[in-house]
Amino acid sequence: MKAIAVTRATKAVGIIDLPEPEISSATDVKLRMLEAGVCGTDREICAFEYGTPPQGSPQLVIGHESLGQVQEVGSQVTRVKLGDLVVPMVRRPCPHDYCVACRSGRQDFCFTGDFRERGIKEQHGFMAQFVVDDEQYMNPIPQHLRDTAVLVEPLTIAEKGLAQVWQVQARLPWGCPVLPDRPQAHCHKAVVLGAGPVGLLGAMALVNAGFDTHVYAREPLPNLKSAVLEMIGAKYLSAETHSLEDLANAAGNVDLVYEATGASRLAFDMMKFLGPNGIFIFTGVPGRRGKVEVDTDLIMRNLVLRNQVIFGTVNAGRDAFEAAVRDIGIFSQRWPQAVSSLITGRFPIREYRDLLLGPSAGIKNVIELN
């Protein structure tokens, strides 16, 4: 079978031929992979800035955003059946018995760092024609979500973030008055930094939860991303024409910041505009650039005097995948055009080179694997 792999020793990125994986346990599932999404992490791995191959392998098959179809099941599989559409989870638990997170199925909170991630860290990924894995990592997808399900994995980042927001805010009286026909967070305001796929899917999740949402990103108006945001009722401000101060003035009292750029300077500059009892969520993984000066006194004063919380979030557990499957369904019904315009292209596997190594273009590009 064909797979897209990186080889560090020879600095090669290309299509390789691998033996088709076969079911080896009663709870294994074999997927015929339909699609894989290309993301910044894949592009970093292809630039040899990130990613670790499986032990003993010179190569790493990349890909962690995917959609497959069940082709074969082990004799004890109950979660999925032949023909089902499936989005597999990314992270696999570490082996240590003292890691309570991994031992509880919450490897997204692994303590030891010895987890593996398919397509990223020590395990082959999903940009391959076939994949075998245990049924416990499979998320069944309703057939009518065939065309958007590849967005489930990137949406899990927002879902895990939002689940933590509700948990953290249970510390105080924060809930909006319950009104008929108004969503949960109808009285709150959110700012999203960045309008890549993570930022746009985050904005959809926030608008859907009721937040009045402003998105701040580089490109001047109008552009593909601002068009998507307009369709969902979020406001777009370009960094070319607006300062963070303008953003804060437009947004009003900022209850939540969802950072989705990986630009640390911008994020730390934004912190001073976070409102009382506000939450700041980091999702980006910045490269190590030069040092940046930050006003730590101001940040610390605000954190204390305004009861603020900052947290980082990575990867996602089963609950976030389930929420993402549900919400992709809701978004597709509510904003069909916005959701479909997130996928800016579907390409045959042989066109991998431009997508992974060329200048990044569009919003979410997808590789068709079979």
Are 333 and 313 a contacting pair, CB within 8 Å? no
Distance between CA atoms of 205 and 154, rounded to whole angstroms?
Answer: 12
When the beta carbons of 25 and 112 are compared against Zn ion, the nearer one is: 112
The one of ligand BGC, Zn ion, none whose footprint includes residue 364, by CB under 5 to 8 A per kind, is none
Spell out the residues 6+ positions from residue 341 whose beta carbon is closer than 8 angstroms to its own.
224, 227, 228, 231, 363
- Rounded to whole angstroms, the Cα distance separating 106 from 164 reads 14
Site residues (vs Zn ion, CB under 5 A): 94, 99, 102, 110, 112
Q: How far is the CB of 115 from ligand BGC (least distance, A)?
A: 9
Provide the minimum distance between the beta carbon of 84 and Zn ion in the complex, in angstroms, as a whole number.
29
Q: Taking the complex as a whole, how short is the minimal distance between the CB of residue 144 and ligand BGC, in angstroms?
A: 24
Query: For the chain, first and last CA: distance in Å?
Result: 10
In whole angstroms, how close is the CB of 318 to Zn ion at the nearest point? 16
Helix (H) or strand (E) holding 45: helix 40-46
Q: Residue 102: which of Zn ion, ligand BGC, none does it interact with, CB under 5 to 8 A by kind?
A: Zn ion
298 burial (CB, 10 Å; 0-12 / 13-18 / 19+) is: exposed
Please identify which residue in 36, 39, 80, 263 interacts with ligand BGC, judged by CB under 6 A. 39
Residue whose CB is less far from Zn ion, 76 or 104: 104
Alpha-carbon Rg for the chain, nearest whole angstrom, is: 21
Q: How far is the CB of 156 from Zn ion (least distance, A)?
A: 18
Alpha carbons 192 and 258: distance in angstroms, whole number: 5
How far apart (Å, rounded) are the C-alpha atoms in residues 332 and 318? Answer: 21
Q: Quick one: what does residue 90 bind among Zn ion, ligand BGC, none, with the CB cut-off 5 to 8 Å set by partner type?
A: ligand BGC
Sign of CA dihedral 317, 322, 328, 334: negative
What's the distance, CA 94 to chain centroid?
A: 21
The number of helix segments (H) and strand segments (E) in the chain equals: 11, 19
Give least dist CB 113 to Zn ion, A.
8
DSSP string covering 5-42: EEETTTTEEEEEE-PPP---STTEEEEEEEEEEE-HHH
Residue 215 contact among ligand BGC, Zn ion, none, beta carbon within 5 to 8 Å by kind: none
Question: Residue 94 touches which of ligand BGC, Zn ion, none (CB < 5 to 8 A by kind)?
Answer: Zn ion
Q: Which of residues 307-366 bind ligand BGC (CB under 6 A)?
A: 314-315
Q: With beta carbons less than 8 A apart as the criterion, state whether 212 and 245 touch.
A: no
Contact string (CB under 6 A) for ligand BGC, positions 85-124, x = contact:
-----xx-------------------------x--x----
Q: Give the residue with the Cβ less far from ligand BGC, 91 or 364.
A: 91
For 164, other C-beta atoms within 10 Å of its C-beta total 16
* Binding site partner of 256, from ligand BGC, Zn ion, none, Cβ cut-off 5-8 A by kind: none
Q: Which residue, 85 or 94, is less far from Zn ion as judged by CB?
A: 94
Least distance to Zn ion, CB of residue 313, Å:
16
Q: Which is nearer to ligand BGC, 89 or 247 (CB)?
A: 89
CB of 116 to ligand BGC, least distance (A): 10
Scanning the structure block, which residue is given the tokens 């010179």? 58
Nearer Cβ to Zn ion (99/234): 99
**120 or 254: CB nearest ligand BGC:** 120
Q: How far is the CB of 252 from ligand BGC (least distance, A)?
A: 31
The verdict on 67 binding ligand BGC (CB under 6 A) reads no
b/e string for 251-290 if b means 16 or more Cβ within 10 A? Answer: beebbbbbbbbbbbebbbbbbebbbebbbbbbbbeeeeee
For tokens 């800016």, name the residue: 344
Which residue, 120 or 279, is less far from ligand BGC as judged by CB?
A: 120
The answer to whether the bond into 173 is cis (omega within 30° of 0) is no
Q: Does 41 bind ligand BGC (CB under 6 A)?
A: yes
Residues of this chain that bind ligand BGC (CB under 6 A): 39, 41, 64, 90-91, 117, 120, 314-315
